[in-house]
Structure 1
Amino acid sequence: MFKKYFITGLLVWVPIIITLWVLGLLVSILEASVPECLSSKSLFGHYIPGFQLVLVVVVIWTSGVLTANLIGRTLLGYWNTILGKIPLVRSIYNSVKQVSDTVLSTDSQSFRQAVLIEYPRNECWTVAFITGSPGNNIISCLPYDNYVSVYVPTAPNPTSGFFLIVRKDSIKSLDMNVDTALKYIVSMGVVSTYKIK
């Protein structure tokens, strides 16, 4: 009886504790990005909890507002051009920018569709996400022209995984949104409510 109630209690508290831990880690990372001269202690003489987080949110939101107009986009274009001319910075910045533009853009179709593919061998199926189509230079090296790029996340940590190029006719579409698919992966199949189209 003790074991049953203890496990039930764990099922209640573990998700809450992990969620709070991840949020706390995110907040500490965001607050650490604020220079010391802009901290509440430097500005007001005493520590105000959450001040740096609010400051980061305001700066990000203001940046979005400013770059949404013509002048902001022009300045951002100049900034991208300058960073694109610095050798080491160029490769890092362009790679990170391309990934963030693809994943965070509201118009992007990456990670918008969950599919089922045979991986790592025939008759073994796993959930994957369509990330786009391979470029013409890659398509020209392949025997067919109907390929898609997919990301196969690992379980229970979907932040790591494998990038594959597979034929369109070898995948099965799932009637499952991205959130449900991620829950299915993280739970290692315990949450299994989905339909194949």
Structure 2
Amino acid sequence: MSDSHKTSAMARLRNYFLAGFVVCAPLAITAYIAWSFVGWVDSWVKPYIPARYSPDTYLPFPVPGFGLIVALILVTLIGFLAANIVGRAVVGFGERLLGRMPLVRGIYGSLKQIFETVLSNRNDMFRQVGLVEYPRKDVWSLVFVAGEKHTEINEKLDVEGDPLLGVFMPCTPNPTTGFLMYVRKSEIVMLDMTIEEGARLIVSAGLVAPDPKKKIKGPDGRLIDLANPPAGTLPQPARKSRTASSRPNK
């Protein structure tokens, strides 16, 4: 076998390996994270389950995920109880009790506000992805733009016609850490990509960028991903009506 044939064979093997790695690596990492999360919840919940109610007592092997199921049922039950009058009274009493503790009240209040914003009121979350000229001129950083709100910061630094917007500039490759900044609306270049696409761009350090050619504008002006369009967003082709003029002449 000549050297050229050996080189081409090695190149094909390398390409096959890289293709398999691209397929297997995300699956393996996702499975590892999911399995670790299930094991973490089980390690917290299972010790509090009575032995007679645990399937591990009757089976020769532990049942993974049983603690997670119990935790989901308990959280749902607590939410159901907290939604009625008695539950709201108990929750209110507990919050007033925590509000009298100097250190605990700050931690609890901040965490509660964060979870309520993320899980309950999605209108207060980041709405758009933008670019801000940072850390110097002609160098742009990706930011997540929050909605316009009337806050003390806007009152102190108010400029008519050019409001301050709160933006979060995440760090690569961990988008959960970053910097909170207030920038003039005129200094932000708004992008059409979604929050999910912006997060993927940050996590991949710019390697996974959204393709603007795969999107069109819908009836409401928003961009629609042609690869995964929401139901009912794409216009349906008009049906040809059978009229007398379209019939063949005899």
TM-score by length of 1: 0.85
Structure 2 residue 49 is the aligned partner of structure 1 residue 38: yes
Aligned length: 195
Q: Select the structure with the greater relative contact order (CA < 8 A; seq sep ≥ 6).
A: 1
CA–CA distance in 2 between the matches of 1:128 and 1:5? 37
Q: Give a deviation string over 1:51-88, Cα, whole Å, max 9, x none.
A: 10101111122222233334333332222211111122
Amino acid at match of 1:124: V
Aligned to 1:7: 18
Aligned to 1:109: 124
Paired residues for 1:59-138 under 5 Å: 59-132=74-147, 136-138=151-153
- Helix, strand or coil: the match of 1:36? helix
CA–CA distance in 2 between the matches of 1:174 and 1:98? 28
List runs of 5+ in structure 1 lacking aligned partners. none
The question of whether the paired residues in 2 share the 8 Å contact of 1:176 and 1:194 is answered with no
CA–CA distance in 1 between the matches of 2:195 and 2:146? 12
The question of whether the paired residues in 2 share the 8 Å contact of 1:36 and 1:42 is answered with no
CA–CA distance in 1 between the matches of 2:46 and 2:64? 16
Structure 2 residue 150 is the aligned partner of structure 1 residue 139: no
Deviating beyond 4 angstroms after TM superposition, the runs of 4 or more aligned structure 1 residues are 132-135
User: Quick one: which of 166, 180, 202 aligns to 1:163?
Assistant: 180
User: Quick one: which of 17, 27, 30 aligns to 2:28?
Assistant: 17
Identify if the C-alpha distance between structure 1 residues 80 and 130 changes in structure 2 by more than 3 Å, giving closer, same or farther: farther
Identity of aligned residues (%): 35
CA–CA distance in 1 between the matches of 2:207 and 2:84? 46
Structure 2 residue 40 is the aligned partner of structure 1 residue 29: yes
The question of whether the paired residues in 2 share the 8 Å contact of 1:174 and 1:194 is answered with no
- Helix, strand or coil: the match of 2:14? helix
Cα shift at 1:95: 1.4
The question of whether the paired residues in 2 share the 8 Å contact of 1:184 and 1:190 is answered with yes
Q: Give the greater-gyration-radius structure (CA).
A: 2
